[in-house]
Amino acid sequence: MRLEWEVMNLGTPALNEKTDRQNMLDDCDGSSKPAGCLANTFQQSMQKLDERKSAWQRDVTEPGNVQEAARKIASVSGYYRHSFKNGDVQGDTFQSTNKLWISKASDHAIRYLVNLEFYNGHSCSRTARQAISAAECLWTRSKMRRERCVSSN
């Protein structure tokens, strides 16, 4: 089982090291004790970074709203398919069907299986579980065919 983090929205502007450094220098430029001022300003900057890090960790590890998750899970659970005319390099045609199964894995997670079919008889399959965290970005993957497609030939 592999754990992968995907950050969608931290809600805070990205850090700009050059600007932050210049602001620190500007703040301490007229100080009678520049070394003490820089040390203090740097310490405050580190505290702000630690606060952002803690907030981010809370957002991606705390479970989301269980009632909202249950509604979302109920609304998407089911079997979906799409059939289409497919072909190969020899000019033969055949019917292919892409399939998606979504089911409840827990009160705040879904399990899904997707089978996709491509030109020339190629296909991909993936099974995974998605937990809804406060940031809705935690993915736990299981039984996966390594991100690459396999040929049915």
Domain limits, the chain? 14-61, 66-151
Instruction: Confirm whether pTM is higher than 0.95.
Output: no
pLDDT digits 0-9 by tens, 109-137: 889 999 999 999 999 999 988 776 544 43
Instruction: Give the model's pLDDT for residue 76.
Output: 86
pLDDT, one tens digit per residue, over 33-59 is: 989 998 998 888 888 888 888 887 776
Q: Fill in the amino acid letter for 17.
A: E
Give the integer Cα–Cα distance in Å for 122 and 149: 7
Secondary structure E strands in the chain: 2-5, 78-87, 93-106, 109-117, 122-131, 138-144, 150-151
Q: Which comes out higher in pLDDT, residue 22 or 7? A: 22
